[in-house]
Amino acid sequence: MTLLRAADISLAFGSRTVFHDLELVVEEGERVGLIGVNGSGKSSLMKILTGAMPPDSGELQLKRGARVTYLPQEPFFDEGATVESELLKGGAPAHEGRALLDRLGVKDWDRGVAELSGGTRKRVAVARALLTRPDLLMLDEPTNHLDADTVDWLEEELDRLEGSLLLVTHDRYFLDDLVDRIVEVEPGAGLISYPGNYQAYLEQKATKEMEAERQQHKRERWIAQEVAWLRRAPEARRTKSKARIDRAHKLMAEKGLQRSETAALQTAVAPRLGHTVIEAKSIGKSFDCRPILENVSLILQKGERIGIVGKNGAGKTTFLRMLLGDLPPDAGEVVIGKNTRIAYYDQQRAQLDPEWTVYESALGERIRGDVRRSEDYIELGDRRVALRDYLEDLLFPVPMQKMQVKALSGGERNRLLLARLFLQGANVLVLDEPTNDLDLVTLNVLESLLLQFTGSVLLVTHDRYFLDKVANAILAFEGGTAIRYPGNYETYLSLRPRGSGGRSVSVDKTQSGKRPQARKPGKLSFKEQRELESMEAEVETAEKRKAAAEAALADPHTYARDPLRVPALQRELETSTSEIERLYRRWQELQDLSRG
């Protein structure tokens, strides 16, 4: 039975049409993922569907008596609200709300919401939404500001949800595990529905694009033939029908295959890294006599992409600020290599002034309106590119370059800050939650850029899929210290101590931040110790093979241009995956032996 129906929905901001005559139906018990590029109107559509924003035209129909709960990207709380007062809005008994908050790690029941951190406020809002037990739960980027463990927990809670779900998210594991239909907002084409989860969507999208390419090739052949015929002498054309002439003109007037625009993130030339990149030696930090971090060590080497994970408040951002020199450690020291050039992405986007224009923000200086200036250029590799053209490649057309930053969407601000970051000529990228608000297409571009980056990366993110694709090591903050694990997030989950998921665990702090193979050997033979020391390099090689096979199989051009290569790629993916699993099993065996 239909739960929600939206018909002929249109919306425009000034001269810019966001969408026109959209149609959307959500059935009872259905779980729908809503995706689309930044600026396509996903959040605006969600607000219209909840009645929070009126459309320019169209109508909404909701099943009589149906209860709808909407959680926006930035939750709203009443002035003076406490955690308790907000939870009781859900209508569930107080003890149920307390139990839910305990599982979320929120202990201060009587505390004012305004005093809480962004991550804690988001957890309170998520709990409030879940406790309403609605017929339709609408979530707009619910994972923003949540740590990876809480994201795992939320996925499990939503999986048990009895009602319908409409979800805007960049979390591809959510889309893969929770939804049974993907609806894509395509500029100029409206809403396009794909049955199944995210993986099914990718397969259908690839098939659709391959078919479109075949039709485009066929169309181009027809045009070539018809143009050749039209160019013949008039006597030859008079023998042909008027219908063929009209068809030829129609073919040439058609736009043909329209590809989705993709932001072209690029990096400026950076100096080569030296032997020392960044080294943290047993650093610690306390606030108001309360220890936040103790005895944390890290050696960052060239080419490493280390994902940093841990609960909200575990000290991840504090650790980054000490590495950057913004915050002095109370104990230990941080050594920065002589050739190290760091570019920092701040999750609060404080480096962007809301009053500056897009162009000024990328340039890094204000431009007086009464001053005429020549074209600004940037250096990208061996190319000198006009800044205006660079921004156009990043999907900021010239009229948009004159807009103030405060008029941009969250995803557009994020993309602008990343573009500015990559122009700094850095060989070390320190990224604190760079994936928030980015659309799926731009996320893929950012992943590819980081995989090709020849420097080093420190990455804080709750995006598990992103960590699985990009990270080749994980630094996990638990119990006031940090432990390093080889591999990506999935590997970290399999290797971390049992029972550590969201709970305090006992760890050996003397090993903080060091490579697993650097532990003092226990019962290992000389041969086993050598095997353990070489294992991380073997894992990295196997993961590169797996990533290359996955990238090729995900590329529609592989099927269109070289279909005979597909079986070999599938075998390579299976072989490399099996090899990674074998290596990690053996790594665990040797680690257990080394601990005695």
Indicate whether 268 belongs to any domain. no
* Residue range 409-468, pLDDT digits in tens: 777 888 888 888 888 888 999 998 888 778 887 788 788 888 888 889 999 998 999 999
Same domain (yes/no): 286, 398? yes
Question: Average pLDDT of 94-121?
Answer: 78
pLDDT-based confidence at residue 49 (cuts at 50, 70, 90): very high
Counting the structural domains of the chain, the total is 4
Helices (H), 408-497: 410-422, 440-452, 464-470, 489-495
Judgement on whether residues 134 and 145 belong to the same structural domain of the protein: yes
Contacts of 218 (CB under 8 A, 6+ apart): none
Write down the pLDDT at residue 308: 95
Domain boundary among 200, 223, 240: 200
Residue with tokens 């950012």: 446
DSSP conformational letter for 171: -
The reply to whether 387 and 370 lie within a common domain is yes
- Whether residue 261 lies inside any domain: the answer is no
Predicted local distance difference test score (pLDDT) of residue 585: 77
* Same domain, yes or no: 303 and 174: no
- The CATH number for 327's domain is 3.40.50.300
Of 200, 225, 241, which marks where a domain is finished? 200
Range of the domain at 160: 2-200
Residues 556, 577, single domain; the answer is yes
Check whether residue 427 and residue 480 sit in a common domain. yes
- Examine residue 103 and state whether it is found in any structural domain, yes or no: yes
User: Which of 511, 474, 550, 431 is CA-nearest to residue 148?
Assistant: 474
Task: Please state the φ and ψ torsions of residue 499, each to the nearest 5 degrees.
Answer: 85, 5
Edge-to-edge, what's the strand order for the sheet holding 278-287? 290-300, 278-287, 331-336
Choose one of 190, 218, 253: the last residue of a domain: 253
In a domain, 547, yes or no: yes
pLDDT at residue 250, rounded to an integer? 65
My answer on whether 40 and 180 are in the same domain is yes
Is there a domain that residue 507 lies in? yes
**Domain membership flag for residue 525:** yes
The answer to whether 364 and 352 are in contact (CB under 8 A) is: no
What's the CATH number where 585 sits? 1.10.287.380
The alpha carbon dihedral of 155, 161, 167, 172 has a sign of: positive
Residue 508's pLDDT band, with cuts at 50, 70 and 90, is: very low
Q: What is the pLDDT of residue 105?
A: 72
Same domain, 124 and 32: yes
Handedness of CA 498, 501, 506, 512 (dihedral sign): positive
| Residue 266 is assigned to a structural domain of this protein | no
Pair (232, 190) in one structural domain:
no
Are 505 and 523 contained in the same domain? no
> Which pLDDT band holds residue 86 (cuts at 50, 70, 90)?
confident
User: Are 492 and 570 found together in one domain?
Assistant: no
- Do 525 and 420 share a domain, yes or no? no
Tell me: the pLDDT tens digits for 150-179? 888 899 889 988 899 999 998 999 999 999
Q: What is the mean pLDDT of residues 534-563?
A: 77
Does some domain include residue 270? no
- Dump pLDDT digits (tens) for 194-250: 999 998 888 888 888 788 777 777 777 777 776 676 666 555 555 556 666 666 666
Angstrom distance (rounded) from CA 313 to CA 461:
14
Contact 359, 367 (CB under 8 A): yes
Between 388 and 532, the higher pLDDT residue = 388
